Amino acid sequence: MRKKETGKIKIWAFPKGRAITTHSFVLHKCNNTKGVQTRRSIPNVPSHNPIVGILVLFLFFFAQIGTAQQEVQFSQYNFNYFAINPAMAGSKSCLQFALGYRKQWMNLKGAPATGFGSFTTALTPKRRSVNGTKHGIGMYVENDVIGPFARTSINLAYAYHFPMGRDITASVGIFAGIHQLKFDATKVTLNNSYDPLVSGSQNTLIVPDFSPGIFLKNKDWFAGYSIKQLAKNKWKVAGTKDTRSRWHHYLVGGKRFDAGKINLVPSAMLKYVWVTTPSLDLNLMVEFSKDFSVGIGWRNQDQIGAMFKLRFAKYLTLGYSFDYTTSSIRYGSSNTHELILVISACSHDRSTIYDCPIFN
């Protein structure tokens, strides 16, 4: 047996074939905290010993000192922007439903898998607003699983939309909901199956959360800013120091450029969490028509990818992205797939006039 140290995290690596006992998996709510939970970006995961690799993966996700985001990341952030910013609720006048699934690092046991569903609509007033304002509501549900850990989030959204000037509309919104954090001990193989720290098949913690956001749009450009995990909830992973949520800042912007028979839509999303390296996503979509577009994406920490978006069957829009992993974790896994389906109560607009690029 040998000891490895990664930052402030001590990892005990056992020779191949030896059992591993670990104690750091039970969630408790707590009152004091100095640590940061980690997720997503993992510097070096051993690929020769899968047991050790899984242990390292879990430790990096839930250790007390972290360098990565706690929230889910999406490659198609423009197509799924409501998941990030509640100010998008009611941006389109008709009812819209969205379903999506993201499988990260295929073939790596315990790797993140995320499913979500949402709806959003504008509230129709009895009298038409004379100043162009409107209200929007929505709901976003997400289930994120990483090995024996799972987080289910249910958020209600409200947004207020108002004109800012000629052809510019602004909106402010908020998510309010709960997170359910769960640990399933049946998915962990222990040397001592009666370990008191992980006894019982499940341990669950429910915490409230709030996430505000603002959004600006024009027919050719958009910009938005939002904060997730505003409540900064505190909990404890047994065997470690106290842990808490951190504010996640999201800054998004993009613009459409007319290139003759096609349109080019570059966009960027900057994500930042205190004491972490900022994550930058850069996407470039090529619009061949209002019904079909393709694009490429790059993330500074982990991936390059390709994506497409297709409108069909009058009320449906399908988006898909394939991410090629560029970090060292690619040696122990395959790549990432993301699929999103949007169902609209309104038929697709067949006019030649383009809407804000985040909607098309």
Smallest CA-to-CA distance from 41 within 299, 338, 306 is with 299
Structural contact between residues 303 and 75, judged by C-beta atoms closer than 8 angstroms: yes
Residue 267, Cβ density class (10 Å: 0-12 exposed, 13-18 middle, ≥19 buried): buried
Go through the domains of the chain in sequence order and give each one's CATH number.
2-344 (2.40.160.40)
> At residue 108, what is the residue type?
L
Cα angle for residues 321, 252, 226 (degrees, 5° grid): 110
φ/ψ of 22, rounded to 5, equals: -135, 150
d(CA 128, CA 243): 49
Residue-wise pLDDT for 108-157, tens only, equals 888 899 999 999 999 977 777 667 899 999 999 999 998 888 899 999 99
pLDDT for residue 120: 95
Positions in the chain whose pLDDT score sits under 50? 1-68, 201, 238-240
* Inter-residue contact 162 to 193 (CB < 8 Å): no
Residue 242 CA: distances (Å) to CA of 18, 31, 43, 64, 203: 30, 8, 23, 7, 17
Question: H or E stretch including 59?
Answer: helix 50-62
Global pTM value? 0.78
294 within 8 A of 284, measured Cβ to Cβ: no
**Residue 250, token pair as written in the block:** 């999201």
List CB contacts of 96: < 8 A, sequence separation 6 or more: 119, 120, 121, 342, 343, 344, 345
pLDDT at 236: 61
Q: What is the pLDDT of residue 140?
A: 97
Contact 82, 140 (CB under 8 A): yes
Q: In sequence order, what are the residues at sequence separation of 6 or more whose Cβ sits closer than 8 angstroms to the Cβ of residue 350?
A: 290
Q: What distance lies between CA 280 and its chain's CA centroid?
A: 14
pLDDT score, position 241: 55
Residue 336: its pLDDT value, please? Answer: 92
Q: How far is CA 92 from the centre of its chain?
A: 22
User: What angle is formed at CA 297 by the lines to CA 296 and CA 303, rounded to 5 degrees?
Assistant: 130
| Residue 56: φ, ψ to 5° | -60, -40
Q: What are phi and psi of 309, to 5 degrees?
A: -140, 130
What is the pLDDT, as a whole number, of residue 86? 97
